Structure 1
Amino acid sequence: MLYQIHENNRMWMAPLADAAHMSYLMLTNPASPFSYVPYAQRLAAGFELLHRIGKDYEKPKFEITSTMVPGEDASMTVSIAREAVVEKPFCHLLHFRKQWRADETLAQPKVLLLAPLSGHHATLLRDTVMTLLPEHDVYITDWIDAKLVPLSAGEFHLHDYVYYLQDFIRFLGPDVHVIAVCQPTVPLLAAVSLMATAKEPKQPRSMTMMGGPIDTRKSPTLVDRLATEHDLKWFENNVIHTVPANYPGYGRRVYPGFLQHLSFVAMNPSRHVKSYQEFYEHLAKNGTDPVVEHHRRFYDEYNAVLDMPAEFYLETVRIVFQEAGLMTGTWEVEGKPVRPQDIKNVALLTIEGEWDDITGRGQTKAAHELCKSIPASKKEHYVAPEAGHYGIFSGRRWHERVCPKIAQFIRAHA
């Protein structure tokens, strides 16, 4: 019922948001006589603010068409072709293929970047991809919005996520380096653990875990406390809803993206209010300036959310947060115990942000306690100074500190 109410409200708001945007364009276009009326710029800013609050945010595009590849003498601009190399019902594996010279092979470390399935689209890691591309052959997991997946595709459980990652690793081969950002650190550790237990030959060269909830009992944050303050029945009754009839996934039980977005905003509402205030003030005073453009880019991404399959979400809450299944050794993937201590030959790098308020300090580092059989020479931990959760994979600190650390680690274990 709540999902249908949301859809009705969205359809009601769409014409209003569109009209507000048309008014903004009419008041800012130099060819329009309305742009010369008194207070036109301030009125335009108000209409644009209304448009951005009321509009529906679609999945953004990566918009990565080229990169600079370093050479012996100078860097060279290389075109990028994005292609889906593996397609599964709930996820596509995308390759940012460099269109290099036909008669030469560009030898670069192969990187599998695991985007989180936790509300936002894989394009949240656009900056991560762009920074890795010059020196790495980059692949990324692009998770499908659950409301777009027909019921005929079946359910998607946490163990399915683990199997997806194993399939992607096997597809890319034993020379791949895996980087997991936040949520997928847990299924990555499970996937590699099971492969190590089975003595599979196609285990990755290295795994980098960034800001992930390996042990949520350490330095618990608001997210961790919410997950443990309520039992599983509470989550099922309060956040799980059924996809309405206007989507291909009609009838599928999901944790809707609009509820996830609400929880994101509720974690720090004053910061978002301030950001929208600054957007309005700058637009009213200066028109489109760098502050306005940054706001648009950030919230075009931040406000675009996807639905998660209910069974996956509820199992993640139970196993990762409530039971701490990795740390207690109780997690089994369809009867197979997850044993990180069986990993011996996969290098491990864990990264945390000094100011991370989503994944607390020590939670990701806990992977080192579990991976007891990895030699010390193949294990590193890094705390990014003055970096919050998003700062460890985007922005200045990612560019200047975190990415060089990862690139160095990959080269050392290539």
Structure 2
Amino acid sequence: MFYQLYELNHAVMAPFRATADAMNLAWKNPLNPWSHTAVGRTFAAGFEVFERMTRRYGKPSFGLPFTNVDGESTAVHEETVWRRPFCDLIHFKRDLPAGADKGPRILIVAPMSGHYATLLRGTVEALIQSADVYITDWIDARMVPVTDGDFDLDDYVDYVIEMLHHLGPDTHVVAVCQPSVPVLAAVAVMEADNDVCAPASMTLMGGPIDTRINPTAVNQLAQDRPLEWFRDNVIMQVPWPQPGFMRNVYPGFLQLSGFMSMNLDRHMIAHKEFYGHLIKNDGDSAEKHRDFYDEYLAVMDLTAEFYLQTVDTVFIKHALPKGEMMHREKRVDTAAIKNVALLTVEGENDDISGVGQTHAAQTICTNIPDHMRAHYVQPDVGHYGVFNGSRFRREIAPRIIQFAKTHSKRAKTAAANPVKRVIRGGKAG
């Protein structure tokens, strides 16, 4: 019922929002003499803030038409190369010269935790300069008809395995935050089956592998309440006329309220400053605010079965680090991973996945050789900084690329079978 009330409130606000938008345009119109005064900018700012605070933010675009490869601007095209009801696989195809080295093939598994995959725009932007990048584009559950079936944590693992099969051997998988657990489980399942499409390496970034280590406020919430509390208080049905009508979900707007409440004072100050930037006609600062909140406030629903199974498996039972996680009624054995290199990355100030939670993967993957392991803690960054921002571009992205190149099966094959080269005026060497 709460979801229906939310939709009703949004509908009721629609005419007021439209009026505010129209008034904002009128007060900013250069033909309006008041638009050049402080009074005009104040009215326009107030109307824009109201409109932005009451709108529903749609899915943003990646907006990466070009990248820089070896100092040259290169066109980028988004292609959907694999599709399922709850996920599309997007390829960022670059217009490279014929025969050019594409770099390592990297599958980025974006988090299914409320925000769209476009939250990783900065991650993609940094990596496509040196790699052939694919990313999971999860579908808003409210847009998936109930006739398409359920989607739970087991399905998530299956999706990852299917995508790795689609991409083929010598793929490198990068899991950002939430998918660290299902990606690690998928790799363990593939290794146990001697699957030739198991990735050459996996990079786990800011992920909740073992939330018993340095628990955060997010982890504590799951520990303080039984699973029934989450089922009774946060699971709702998608209302009509959405395509997913009657599907049980964890609504995006409810997740967003949780995100906002964690740092409510910071968001209030940000909107107050945005109002001030508009009045002062500080266009650059105002645009930065718009860009951030257009992404941050765009949220999606999660299927109830996936959300509840994740809460139970990852945050309440700690099943993976205990060796008790099940996939399709078969135990996930992380000790089966022997041929996949492992890189774990954490942020020193991460308040979502505490320091040590991701590193736990190094402990439970007991049979990965030492020379195929690496761990890095990025100083002075929180959770978002692990996969985005200037420090990610300077410090973390190069490590991911180098780790993938080092553990590429192509590189190993070339090292094992060196090609003799002819030196002009000398002997073959």
Q: TM-score, normalised by structure 2?
A: 0.93
Identity of aligned residues (%): 48
Deviation at 1:228, TM superposition (A): 1.3
Please show how residues 157-196 of structure 1 align to structure 2 within 5 Å.
157-196=152-191
What's the secondary structure of 1:200's corresponding residue? coil
Residue of structure 2 equivalent to 1:88: 84
Kept in 2, the 8 Å contact 1:18–1:55? The answer is no
Query: In the alignment, which of 261, 286, 302 is matched to residue 292 of structure 1?
Result: 286
Counterparts of residues 13-412 of structure 1 (less than 5 Å): 13-36=13-36, 39-70=39-70, 75-101=71-97, 103-285=98-280, 287-412=281-406
Q: Which amino acid aligns with 1:261?
A: L
For the 8 Å contact 2:107–2:135, the answer to whether it is kept is yes
In structure 2, distance between residues paired with 1:358 and 1:205: 28
Task: Specify the code of the residue in structure 2 equivalent to 1:12.
Answer: V
Contact 1:66 1:79 in 2 (8 A): yes
| Distance in 2 separating the partners of 1:112 and 1:188 | 11
Give the letter aligned to residue 343 of structure 2: L
- Contact residue 118 and residue 183 of structure 1 kept, 8 A: yes
Alpha-carbon displacement from aligned partner over 1:71-110 (angstroms, at most 9, x marks no partner): xxxx222111101100000000000111234x43443210
- The structural deviation recorded for 1:405 is 1.5
What are the superposed Cα offsets for residues 153-205 of structure 1, whole Å, 9 maximum, x if unpaired? 00001000000000001111121111000000000000000111111111101
Provide structure 1 residue ranges, at least 5 long, that are not aligned to the other structure. Answer: none
Secondary structure, in 3 states, of the residue corresponding to 1:306? coil
Displaced runs of 4 or more, over 2 A = 103-107
Distance apart, 1:288 and its partner CA: 4.2
Contact 2:344–2:375 (CA<8 Å) still a contact in 1? yes
Distance, in Å, in 1 between the alignment partners of 2:229 and 2:381 is 33
8 Å CA contact 1:357, 1:389 repeated in 2: yes
Distance 1:38 1:158, change over 3 A: closer
Q: Distance in 1 between matches of 2:151 and 2:163?
A: 16
CA distance in 2 between partners of 1:265 and 1:282 (Å): 22
Counterpart-to-counterpart distance in 2, 1:332 and 1:200: 19
- Unpaired segments of 5 or more residues in structure 2? 409-429
Taking structure 1 as reference, are residues 227 and 111 closer, same or farther at Cα in structure 2, changes over 3 Å only?
same
Q: Kindly provide the CA deviation profile for residues 365-408 of structure 1, in whole angstroms up to 9, marking residues without a partner as x.
A: 00001111001111011000101000011111111111112122
Residues 288, 128 of structure 1: alpha-carbon distance in 2 compared, 3 angstrom cutoff: same
- The answer (yes or no) to whether the contact 1:193–1:343 under 8 Å persists in 2 is yes
Q: Which residue of 1 aligns with 2:4?
A: 4
Write the deviation string for residues 251-287 of structure 1: whole angstroms up to 9, x where unpaired: 10000000000000011111111111111111112x2
Verify the 8 A CA contact 1:26 1:34 in the aligned structure 2: no
Other structure's SS at 1:39 match = helix
Instruction: Answer whether contact 2:274 2:286 (CA < 8 A) is retained.
Output: yes
Shift of 1:133: 0.6
Of stretches 162-171 and 398-407 in structure 1, the one that deviates more from structure 2 is 398-407
- Which whole-Å CA distance do the structure 2 matches of 1:152 and 1:409 have between them? 42
Deviation at 1:38, TM superposition (A): 5.9
SS across alignment from 2:173? strand
What code does the residue aligned with 1:63 have?
Answer: G
Question: After superposition, what is the alpha-carbon deviation per residue over 1:208-247, rounded to whole angstroms, capped at 9, x for unaligned?
Answer: 0000000000000010001111111110110000001110
1:248, 1:25 → 2: CA distance?
A: 33
The 1-side partners of 2:328 and 2:37 are apart by 68
Deviation at 1:37, TM superposition (A): 6.0
Structure 1 Cα separation of the partners of residues 387 and 373 of structure 2: 20
> What CA distance in whole angstroms lies between the structure 2 residues aligned with 1:104 and 1:210?
32
- Tell me the distance in 1 between the aligned counterparts of 2:393 and 2:102: 23
Larger radius of gyration: 2
Q: Match of 1:82, as an amino acid?
A: E
Deviation, structure 1 residue 43: 1.4
Q: Secondary structure at the match of 2:382?
A: coil
Specify the SS of the correspondent of 2:219: helix
- Which amino acid in the other structure matches residue 209 of structure 2? I
Between Structure 1 and Structure 2, how many residues are aligned?
408
Say if 1:353 and 1:388, in contact at 8 Å, map to a contact too.
Answer: yes
CA contact 1:205–1:347 (8 Å) conserved in 2:
yes
Q: Is the 8 A contact 1:108 1:137 kept in 2?
A: yes
Per mean C-alpha deviation after superposition, the further-off stretch among 6-15 and 84-93 is 6-15
